[in-house]
Amino acid sequence: MANRTLLHEGTLMINHRPYRDKEDLLQIGGLIRRAHAQAPHCNAWSFARFDIWAHRKIGDEQVHAKRDWQQGLRLWEVEGGELAGAILFANDHSAALIYDPDLRENVEPMLAWAEARYTENGDPGKPLTIEALASNAFLEQSLRSRNYTRPEEHYIYRQKLLESERGEPVMLPDGFYVKSTETVAELRAFHRAVQAVFNFEDSVDVYRILQQAPSYVPELDLTLLTAEGEVAAFCTVWLDRESGVAEFEPVGTVPQYRKRGLGAALLADASNRLRSVGCRMATVFSWSESVGANKLYAGAGLEEKDRLYSWRWQGA
């Protein structure tokens, strides 16, 4: 898988190279934002998802000296160094394809590189997966032509326009209140709640690096607390100020506090905070099989707009 030079439209040369340093991650994040402004369906990964992934990887490197993830990241550049696209492997069998909609002819060689890497390093018991939004007809056609298959299960992409300046009622039980996460003790309590909901163990040191992501806003890292100060629910909101788009990730209610309307109250509070800073749209991804989460988001006014599928490939 050595460097290859490609010819685009007979004149423009596109080369690919390995990851160098975290400046590459900032460039990929910039490409995701530029592409979304031009063609919102182009890339499966949102600005928030990439920011979270990239800064967790920076944290893994700086805190835990883990650098193996760098081997699964490849960048494609036009002459002069402008980024044309990137492939990143979230694990040995799941790859994300990020591309410039003006250079979509580059998708085929990018997929070929991902397939070659998977064939060399992947788990043969698991198929290679590439995510694509259902509205991206071009990428769907490319994947089908390369013998990828689409599963039934998917993520639902939801949107909510924040046009009303009046805000929404926040219906909290007596004694419960919402605040942003500030101190180390509050951060650890938040992490315990996340583990209780998603079985994900976080690190304060890595999270501090995550907080350096361009879309992280301290005032939108929210927890809903009981009168005794226990975390009952949480919602972190990532904001791209230039586009005016926000994304909820993660959202959860600790098991013993469910069915009290806390999730709905927290989403209403977060939406009001977004209105106050001029955000025009809130978004979220929800798993198709998560009945409770989908009911919560639909009730909060987050309407289904697209679907995200993980297409599977096990060889030509």
Query: Could you give the CA distance from residue 100 to residue 34 in angstroms, rounded to a whole number?
Result: 8
Among candidates 163, 156, 221, 213, which has minimal Cα distance to 32?
Answer: 213
Report the distance separating Cα 114 and Cα 197, nearest Å.
Answer: 33
User: Looking at residue 6, what is its pLDDT?
Assistant: 47
Predicted confidence band of residue 312 (pLDDT cuts 50, 70, 90): very high
What pLDDT, on a 0 to 100 scale, did the predictor assign at position 11? 60
> Can you tell me the mean pLDDT for 241-260?
97
pLDDT, tens only, 11-25: 678 999 999 999 999
Q: Which residue has the higher pLDDT, 4 or 99?
A: 99
Instruction: Report how far apart the first and last C-alpha atoms of the chain are (Å, whole number).
Output: 18
- Spatial separation of the C-alpha atoms in residues 262 and 253, rounded to whole Å: 7
The encoded tokens of residue 102 equal 């003006």
Is residue 8's pLDDT more than 60?
no
Burial 264-299 (b: 16+ CB within 10 A, else e): bbbbbbbbbbbbeeebeebbbbbeeeeeebbebbee
Across residues 95-105, what is the average pLDDT? Answer: 95
Give exposure, 108-139, as e/b (b: 16+ Cβ within 10 Å): eebbebbbebbeeebeeeebbbbbbbebbeeb
Model pLDDT, residue 303: 98
Kindly give the residue spans of alpha helices, DSSP state H, lying in 1-91: 22-38, 47-64
Comparing CA positions, the residue from 101, 171, 185 lying closest to residue 138 is 101
**Per the structure block, which two tokens stand in for 22?**
């975290």
β-pairing verdict for 94-99 and 245-253: unpaired
CB 292 within 8 A of CB 109: no
Say if residue 80's pLDDT is above 90.
Answer: no
Residue 229 DSSP SS3: coil
| Vertex 237: Cα angle to 231 and 240 (nearest 5) | 165
Q: Which two structure tokens, joined as six digits, stand for 143?
A: 């994947």
Q: Which of 21, 82, 16, 86 is nearest to 50 (CA)?
A: 86
Taking only the tens place, the pLDDT of each residue in 259-276 is 999 999 999 999 999 999
Tens digit of pLDDT for each residue in 186-219? 999 999 999 999 999 999 999 999 999 999 999 9
Q: Grade residue 4 by pLDDT with cuts at 50, 70 and 90.
A: very low
Band the pLDDT of 123: cuts 50, 70, 90. confident
Q: Taking the model in full, what pTM does it have?
A: 0.94
Alpha carbons 200 and 3: distance in angstroms, whole number: 37
Residues 6+ apart with CB under 8 A from 170: 178, 265, 268, 269, 272
* Residues 216, 238 contacting (CB under 8 angstroms): yes
The per-residue pLDDT of the chain, averaged, comes to 94
Q: In which band, very low, low, confident or very high, does the pLDDT at 145 lie, cut at 50, 70 and 90? A: very high
What pLDDT is attached to residue 5? Answer: 43
